[in-house]
Amino acid sequence: MRCSRRGLLKGGALVAAGSFMPAFARRALAAQEVVAPRRKTLVFLFLRGALDGLHAVTPVDDPRFQQLRPQLALRPADLLDLCLPGFNLHPSLAGLLPLWKACSLAFVHAVGSPDPTRSHFDAQDYLELGTPGVKGTSDGWLARALGETEIDEPGPLDAVAVSPRLPRALQGADDALAFASLDQLRLHPLAGAPRGQKGRDQARAVFEGLYGALPDDEAVATSGRQAFAALDLLEKKLSSAAAKSTVEYPNGPIANSLKPLAQLIKGDVGLRVGCADAGGWDTHVAQAGTLNGNLKQLGDSLAAFMLDLGPRAEDVVLVAATEFGRTARQNGTGGTDHGHASVALVLGGGVQGGRIHGAFPGLRDDQLYEGRDLAVTTDLRSVLAAAAAAQLDATDLAELFPGFSGEPLAGLFT
């Protein structure tokens, strides 16, 4: 087996070492000397493609809904009773009912951006940057939230995204990592080597053999040894009994993103922010079938995530939001088009759940935005600001959302 230093560092023996070394190693190694305190964690789940909030949380007392969607609208009797006047829940979200009844899940209706764009690309950028209408912002809102507060005893991993690349919301955050799976944070064996601990030992031996006899590469060798020590520590945390999951998650991208975040949180790696993406919400055609499946995956995945967290759920808040909503009227192809306001889901510890926050503006023609969409009555930044304050102690709104003159949504958290 031939292996060069360059190939080893770029390949499987030391995954992504260059992207998070040496800061990651220093923090990981330092964490061995102290017992890291339990951290609050904010998880942001981006529902990309524009979720139809009217379909998810339906205004059953507004007669215009049935008129605007004669084929798409479900009968009130087919919806799930939320035990409060005005709204019922889509049946595919049945997995969320226990969280709702336990008052750990809230909805914020008619939520969105003040920017009028109907472009997915622009609206997604504006949400992640936290500056509607301004695409030149250099860092993301979550990066700014993390930068507001200093942690006395930082853990190995401060912020992660379960994604092939770092999302714009985390751009500018020190030591934020993106990975497609937890395997990318572990010691991988070299190609052809046995899997498991034997393979990891072989990878380490090859690496140390390369650098042990090369005094001129001492700095790189030291960095490499630190990297292996850091990844060893992470491996132990992720393999601990406390971190392992016994919960059955559904199959699908949402669950595949949330399950590793739960493992990191339970593994006490110091996680403060976790990001996940879920596409497929752009329902121009044949909306009913697509949205039914997506909503079921969303509800069941969130339920599994909270169950998996167990007692740690009290330390976690998850916000699921989308870039904009759908038109109030159905279109001619059994779907809906790009709209304005939607719904956000907020669940976890400290959430004032079992209620719908925000003001619902109504669906009469004179109440619709531009005569076609549910109007925004709650700026999504108010929801994100409340969550950032509750979980990250980020309270400087001028820093968090430049140009925003609003306030954190009152009453969303205890």
Confidence of residue 239 (pLDDT cuts 50, 70, 90): confident
**Sequence spans of domains, the chain:** 5-19+38-185+239-400, 186-238
5-19+38-185+239-400: in CATH 3.30.70: no
Q: Would you state the pLDDT for residue 191?
A: 45
Instruction: Give, as one character, the DSSP assignment of residue 197.
Output: H
* Among 271, 299, 280, CA closest to 90: 299
363 or 239, higher pLDDT = 363
Residues 6+ apart with CB under 8 A from 119: none
Which pLDDT score is estimated for 151?
Answer: 77
Beta strands per DSSP E along 259-303: 273-278
Residue 109 in 3-state DSSP? strand
The mean of the pLDDT values for the chain is 86
**Triad 414, 255, 250: Cα angle to 5°:** 115
Helix/strand/coil for 357 = strand
Task: Check residue 242 and give its pLDDT.
Answer: 85
* pLDDT single digits (tens) 293-342: 999 999 999 999 999 999 999 999 999 999 999 999 999 999 999 999 99
Regarding pTM above 0.85, the answer is yes
When computed from its CA atoms, the radius of gyration of the chain, rounded to whole angstroms, is 23
Alpha-carbon distance 144 to 286, whole Å?
A: 39
Q: How far apart are the first and last CA of the chain?
A: 59
Spell 162-176 as b/e; 16+ CB within 10 A means b.
Answer: bbeebbbbbbbbebb
